Amino acid sequence: MREDLFSDIIKKFLEGNATAHEKSMLSKWLKEDPCREELFYYHLSLRETENPQHLPDIGSRVEEYEKHMRGEFRMPAPAWRYAGDEPSAGRRVTMHYRWWLAASVILFISAGFYFLQDEWLYKSYAAEKGTIRTVTLEDGSTVTLNANSCIRVPRDFMGHENREVWIKGEAFFEVTKKTDLMKFIVHTDNFDVEVLGTKFNIQNRRNRSKVTLAEGKVKLVAKDRQPLIMKPGEQASLSSSQDQFEKQLVKPQKYEAWRNNMMVFENTPLSEVAQIIHDYYGVTMIVTDSLLSTRQFTGTLPNNDLGIILLALKTSYKINIEHKGDRILLSNRSSH
């Protein structure tokens, strides 16, 4: 109870919104027992993960660190520590950035050529397995693509009656409102989403399309079915075999967590966890035991490293994880 109260104060404090009274309460509470600072650092870490000020290139830094631990490479001590006040510019690390930049430019151009060959009339934007990508469309709307997802838009996006987008996979849309009320339409396999200006998440995988509305208002239109108007906080889904929309109330934040590289599980059965990992990383997960596949998982995990996720499942739930080619087998440890 008290922890909840102080959790709220800590959050307000970190945002710079705590009152003087709250600050002194918090300061006193923290001083009373050194263990309490754990709660503070927990929220601090969470906040920095959710609102990153900067996304470093972890892959290459972690490699350097592992080399450092093996004694093959000394990570340079910060230059400014004893000497001048400017950090020396153009260090080796900066070179790394350049190479990555060059590589990504080449990748981008070659991807461009690939799609040009394929389709002259449409432009596609795709996020690879295990990565997230944000795209700004011509009208200023932004689309954040979840891993293993892509969208397709006409080359003259603004030249039609409506703004139209086709989606495969999952994405979060922030649509800008146009003064002339030009509609924004997202086509999924099972229905169209008509929008004026709003924020929502769409998942279009495995013949099932699902919309979670965070803000504003959208209309879902499907062939031969009653259209549905959604309100914020609602989630609606439809598969080809259903003859009407399935609607429920949810916390939209939970369905947007992937944008901050977080994977949120709330009493999620292992079978579903395996499916989500498959969607994200494109690896095939096989749960060998039907009892195991119903076991439920709760927790929030960083979602940019498959290794961490598997390790978390393995150590915390005592299951065996075996790699067989590009398939991953999950089994009960006790059965071995």
Partner 1 sequence: MMDALPGNDRRENLFSSEAAETRIIDAEVLLRKTFDHDPRQGCSLLFRLYYAPLCSHVIRFVFSRQVAEDIVADVFCRFWDGRVFEKISTSYRAYLFKSVRHRAYNYIKFQLSRRAPDEKFDVDGNGSDPCEILLYDELYQLVDNTINALPQQCKRVFVLSRMENKRYQEIAAELDISVKAIEAHISKALRILRKKVNGELV
Which of 298, 301, 293 has the alpha carbon at shortest distance from 319? 293
Number of amino acids touching partner 1 (CB under 8 A): 60
Q: Out of 7, 11, 12, 14, point to the residue binding partner 1 (CB under 8 A).
A: 14
DSSP-based three-state secondary structure for 267: strand
DSSP-based three-state secondary structure for 33: coil
CB of 292 to partner 1, least distance (A): 15
Applying CB under 8 A, does 37 fall inside the site for partner 1? yes
Q: Out of 5, 19, 42, 155, point to the residue binding partner 1 (CB under 8 A).
A: 42
Q: Out of 5, 19, 69, 116, point to the residue binding partner 1 (CB under 8 A).
A: 69
Q: Under rule CB under 8 A, which residues in 278-297 are in contact with partner 1?
A: 296-297
Q: Out of 5, 8, 19, 41, point to the residue binding partner 1 (CB under 8 A).
A: 41
Q: Which is nearer to partner 1, 238 or 287 (CB)?
A: 287
CB 163 within 8 A of CB 152: no
Catalogue the E-assigned strands of 106-162.
122-127, 133-136, 142-145, 149-154
Applying CB under 8 A, does 179 fall inside the site for partner 1? no
Q: Under rule CB under 8 A, which residues in 308-327 are in contact with partner 1?
A: 308, 311-312, 315-316
Applying CB under 8 A, does 302 fall inside the site for partner 1? yes
CB of 128 to partner 1, least distance (A): 19
Binding part of the chain for partner 1, among 72-80, 196-204, 221-229, 246-254 by CB under 8 A, reads 72-80
Catalogue the E-assigned strands of 129-272.
133-136, 142-145, 149-154, 163-174, 184-187, 192-195, 199-205, 208-215, 218-221, 228-230, 234-239, 246-249, 262-269
CB 250 within 8 A of CB 234: yes
DSSP-based three-state secondary structure for 304: coil
Q: Pick left, alpha or beta for residue 240 (phi over 0 → left; psi -120 to 50 → alpha; otherwise beta).
A: alpha
Q: Which is nearer to partner 1, 85 or 180 (CB)?
A: 85
Q: Out of 62, 101, 109, 250, point to the residue binding partner 1 (CB under 8 A).
A: 62
Buried b (16+ CB within 10 A) or exposed e, 96-107: eeeeeeeeeeee
Distance, C-alpha 157 to centroid of its chain: 26
Applying CB under 8 A, does 20 fall inside the site for partner 1? no
Alpha-carbon distances of 221 from 21, 170, 229, 238, rounded to whole Å: 52, 19, 9, 11
Q: Out of 1, 35, 181, 249, point to the residue binding partner 1 (CB under 8 A).
A: 35
Which of 118, 132, 133, 127 has the alpha carbon at shortest distance from 150? 127
CB of 291 to partner 1, least distance (A): 16
Applying CB under 8 A, does 49 fall inside the site for partner 1? yes
Q: Under rule CB under 8 A, which residues in 80-119 are in contact with partner 1?
A: 80-81, 85, 87, 89, 91, 93-94
Q: Which is nearer to partner 1, 70 or 223 (CB)?
A: 70
Distance CA 4, CA 29 (A): 13
Which of 250, 246, 257, 243 has the alpha carbon at shortest distance from 170? 257
Q: Out of 5, 8, 19, 65, point to the residue binding partner 1 (CB under 8 A).
A: 65
Q: Which residues here bind partner 1, judged by CB under 8 A?
A: 13-14, 16, 23, 26-27, 30-31, 34-35, 37-38, 40-42, 44-45, 48-49, 51-56, 58, 61-62, 64-66, 68-69, 75-81, 85, 87, 89, 91, 93-94, 296-302, 305, 307-308, 311-312, 315-316
